[in-house]
Every structure is written in structure tokens, then in C-alpha cells.
Amino acid sequence: MDELNPPERLLLGAGPSNVHPRVVKALLSPLVGHLDPYFIEIMDETKKLLAKAFKTKNEFSLPISGTGTAAMEAAICNLVQEGDEVIIGVNGFFAQRMSEMVRRWGGKTLEIKKRWGDVTTKEEVENLFKNSNANLVALVQGETSTGALQPLQDIAKIARAYDALVLVDTVTSFTGVDLDIDGWGIDVCYSSPQKCLNAPPGASPITVGDRALNRIRNRRKPVQSLYFDFTLIERYWSERRMYHHTAPIMNVYALREALMIALEEGLDNRIAKYKRNSEALMAGVEAAGLTMNTEHQYTLPSLNAVRVPEGVDADKVKNIFLDRFNTEIGAGLGELKGQVWRVGLMGLNSSERNVLFFLEALEVSLRKEGHSLKPGVAANAAVDYYDAHQPIN
């Protein structure tokens, strides 16, 4: 066997994104023990950085050992007990996964089913609260499969009025769009580091508020998962440092560095950058006669889903990007298989250069598949957008 030598690609798909050079450097740091005094300092620093990024005072703000799906399952298995009714806005692949997990952990799902690309409305949520005993509403803020950005604030207010908890998936939106855990009244929120944070998967951010912790501590039965039991995990991440499992130390290094980068840039600056680049991409796509999968106001800036033109093989275009341009773009999932390309503009990959490159590469790829675009139209429209919307320093 040869020495490991993976290709260096530009990752403009649905995730992972390219790892930031500073995060790579952090990953090359010496390994220490999971109870080493140095690592304990890193743990405390990571908690503080996560709380700042989530905009919360929650003490339980820490990384779950595992991918974003592990964080999703950890949240659900702690919050859901046998027979609990849970309202879920099902408008994509990962919302469907949340619903499936709720059922597997004994809950009863009250699904609000929408077209993949639409969002759940506050009226739909309130109607279910009026006609059920639901004690939890679960939503995906940034649906990776559809490119939809779910509004949260009004729904969180409604849930509070019914004394219900709010669980939010921000895997593809964390540090890329506005998120205010305390200000909006979100009880539990999780994410993943390989998207907007430009870090490898393995240590997934989560924050849990006091209302949710009180419910978990007063469950009728203990959490069935020992590995994901928050009452045990918090003992390790608190000053008690009671052993629970060996933390993914290198991944925590990486997450800490990624959070520092995001906070140094400034969350508001990042959000403005994401919005500007996404809107430039949309301007180019639409000037070329193509369409987005979502309405403009509900387009997720970090993950832009472009509809595949009729008669075009989505996978062939995706392969041209990979073979000719050494660039990954995302294919459609589930109901959107073959119908969209998912274009990730995450972290350092959200740039004017990458937007223009993608539009030019898309033009070439479509032309090779027999779908003619007027040369330069898409990129020129994006340039015009940039010229008219200069960043505010």
C-alpha cells in the first residue's frame, strides 16, 4: 500500500468544508490526556467560546463527542420520553431524521410536512399546540438537503406560551446566520464543526438551557443511552471532572481554534459576508435563466440549492466539477435527488472568488452537457451585484 495521499479539492458541497489552515495547525499539536491540566484548560476555554458563539449564558455549552448526527441523537434521547408528543417541521432529509429519532426513542411525532424547500410557519406550529399535549417542538434552522433557512423567533415564543421546549438543529447554519439562543428562547441547540467552522467532524457543539436540564434531571426514567446522558456528561465538563468517556482531544483542539477564528472575525461580519456572497450567487444563477430551490428570503446563505435545468443530468455536471475543476458540489438528497445542486459557501469558502469560480465552472459544465448559457452572463451578474453592494467596513 502507498502512503496516504488524498487529493486537495475545493469543497463547495454540502459539507465538509475545507479545513482552515489555523485549524490544521491545531490538529498537529501534541496529544495530551483527557484529564491533563492543559486539556482541562482547553475544555474550559472551548465552553466559553461556544457560549459566546451561541449567544448564551448556558453553562452546558460544550462539544458532544461525535458528528452532528450524534449531537442530534444526544439531544433527542435526553429530551424525549416514552409517549411524549413532539411537533416537528418536516421539510427535508434532516428534519425527517429528527422525526425518526423521536419515534425510536419512544416519542409520538406530530409532523408538519412541507415541500422540500419551504419552511414551517408559526401558525402551523400553534395549531398543533392547540390540539395536542406536545411538550417539545423541533426544527432545523438550516436544512442541508434543501437550502432552506427556517425562521425561529416567533415559533420559540409560541412554544414558551405552551410551556414547551424548543430544540433546534443548526448543523449548517451555526456562525453563518443570525442565532441568539438566550434572546430567542431556544432551549437546546446543536451543530457540527465541519460546515461553517471549517473544522473536521468529531466534536459537535451543543448548548442546553436550564429549562431543558430541569426536565432531563426530573425524567420518569433515566436516559437510556449512557454515552449521551447529559447528567453524566456535564460531570466531566464541570469542575468535578468525573470520568465519563475519553474525549476526542484533537477534535476539541480544532473546534476551539475554529471558534476563535469565527469570533475574531465577528459574528455580525461573518453573517453579512455569507449573505452578500449568497445573494451574488443567486443573482448569477437567475441571470443565467436557472432558479433556486427556495424563496430568496428563506435561502440558507451557507448552502445554496440550485435547481437542475430540465433535460440536464445532475450527476454528470457534478462529476465534471470534480474531474475538470477538482471541486466538489453537492448532489440532491431524498426527494430532491437529481433535482438540485447544493453549493456550500461555508467559512473561508464563502468568498467572492469562489462565487465567480462556481458560476464560470457551472457555465462550462452545462455547455458540455448540451445546455447552452450565454457566455459570461452568470459571472457578470454576480460582479454587478458585488459592485452595487460593497461590504461595510
pLDDT at 184 over 80: yes
5 belongs to a structural domain: no
**Average pLDDT, whole number, for the chain?**
96
Q: How confident is the model at residue 373 (pLDDT cuts 50, 70, 90)?
A: confident
15 belongs to a structural domain: no
Pair 210, 91 in one domain: yes
pLDDT at 392: 63
Encode pLDDT of 251-303 as tens digits.
999 999 999 999 999 999 999 999 999 999 999 999 999 999 999 999 999 99
- Which domain, by its residues, includes 283? 267-388
In order, the DSSP letters of 50-79 are HHHHHT---SEEEEEEE-HHHHHHHHHHHH
Pair 288, 237 in one domain: no
pLDDT at 17 over 90: yes
Q: How confident is the model at residue 368 (pLDDT cuts 50, 70, 90)?
A: confident
Pair 261, 287 in one domain: no
Encode pLDDT of 84-125 as tens digits.
999 999 999 999 999 999 999 999 999 999 999 999 999 999
Residues in the chain: 393
CATH number, residue 332: 3.90.1150.10
- H or E segment at 85? strand 85-90
Give me the mean pLDDT over the 166-172 stretch.
98
pLDDT at 127: 97
- H or E segment at 12? strand 10-12
The tally of domains found in the chain comes to 2
Give me the mean pLDDT over the 336-344 stretch.
98
pLDDT at 369: 81
The pTM for the full model equals 0.96
Q: Is the dihedral of CA 326, 330, 332, 334 positive or negative?
A: positive
**Rounded distance between C-alpha atoms, residue 277 and residue 108, angstroms:** 40
Asked if 22 contacts 257 with a C-beta cutoff of 8 angstroms, the reply is: yes
Which of 88, 110, 18 is closest to 351 using CA atoms? 18
Residue recorded with cell 435547481: 307
Is the link from the previous residue into 16 a cis peptide, with omega within 30 of 0?
yes
Cell numbers at 307, concatenated: 435547481
pLDDT at 214 over 60: yes
CATH number, residue 187: 3.40.640.10
Q: How confident is the model at residue 372 (pLDDT cuts 50, 70, 90)?
A: confident
Residue recorded with cell 454576480: 382
14 belongs to a structural domain: no
Give me the mean pLDDT over the 372-383 stretch.
89
Encode pLDDT of 27-54 as tens digits.
999 999 999 999 999 999 999 999 999 9
Pair 315, 233 in one domain: no
pLDDT at 190 over 60: yes
pLDDT at 393 over 70: no
Rg (CA), the chain: 21
